[in-house]
Amino acid sequence: MKTRITELFGIQHPIIQGGMHYVGFAELAAAVSDAGGLGIITALTQPTPERLAKEIARCREMTDKPFGVNLTFLPNFAAPPYAEYIQATIEGGVKAVETAGNNPQAYMAQLKSAGVKVIHKCTSVRHALKAEGIGCDAVSVDGFECGGHPGEDDVPNFILLPRAAEELRIPFVASGGMADGRSLVAALALGAEGMNMGTRFIATKEAPVHDNVKRAIVAASELDTRLVMRPLRNTERVLTNANVERLLAIEREKGASLTIDDLRAQVAGIYPRVMLDGEMDAGAWSCGMVAGLIHDIPSVKELIDRIMAEANTLIQKRLAGLIQ
């Protein structure tokens, strides 16, 4: 399948693995890239720029296909040295960077001067237009269904994607609710040039996370996510568990006086405990409503091959057969 996204990133299939904290390691990124998509290493999972450089080198030993690095600019308890992480990415020869969170404009010159293609995650058309305006090569349009940070507008992809298609000149991929060939064909029909998957890639054999996490996603339905930190306007969609429900109770109890410090026990340092140690009730970790469409734990290649086969069948047979 050929789209502007496959041509931009030099990949076979218009499928991107989103950046995910304590999931986006070399093993998963290399597997996605080898299967024809664009694998992504999550920069801030690595504690230092030097460690990111080593992770990039490790990924390069695993695949000779293009892969990218995610760099998320979000409110944090301690600001990372973003410029140094970018420099490590550039020196590692990476030519694709997925930015997310706050506006990456301050770092665009550093990225573009090195020939890096930038795809920015956006949760609204206005943010996507801003990304286009500052020189991003593509955007990942995240609907309200997505795991992680869906923004504050609550617009689902059936509205957001065609609105993006009406306004943008640069290519975009659909993110949020993406799981299979149906997702890909629907995204293409709504104007996207591919799709970005996060939660679906966690439930794969190569994802370097604890089996408890994979089993929890398979067991979950579309009703098992919660929106946390809404009062702080830092909304995150997470899979429910005992500590998430406690977090929501704290939000209700504190009301207008709530601060991030009130939630620290449920959100700080949670990812290694969940993803590496399998402590499923440790606290809040990102998961999309798409969990309701995830029923197995295939290899990455099996998953991507299945998606493309299903997409081709839908386009060439089912949809074409509807035309009389």
User: What CA–CA distance (Å, rounded) separates 266 from 312?
Assistant: 43
**pTM recorded for the entire structure:** 0.96
Q: What are 146-159's pLDDT values in tens digits?
A: 999 999 999 999 99
Q: What are 61-84's pLDDT values in tens digits?
A: 999 999 999 999 876 656 899 999
Q: What residue ranges define each of the domains in the chain, with the CATH number in brackets?
A: 4-208 (3.20.20.70)
**Is residue 11 a contact partner of residue 39, using CB atoms and an 8 Å limit?**
no
Query: In a 3-state reduction of DSSP, which class is residue 322?
Result: coil
Whether the pLDDT of residue 91 is over 60: the answer is yes
Give the closest residue to 213 by CA, choosing from 227, 198, 226.
198
Length of the chain: 324
196: Cβ contacts below 8 Å, ≥ 6 apart: 15, 16, 17, 18, 121, 140, 173, 174, 175, 178
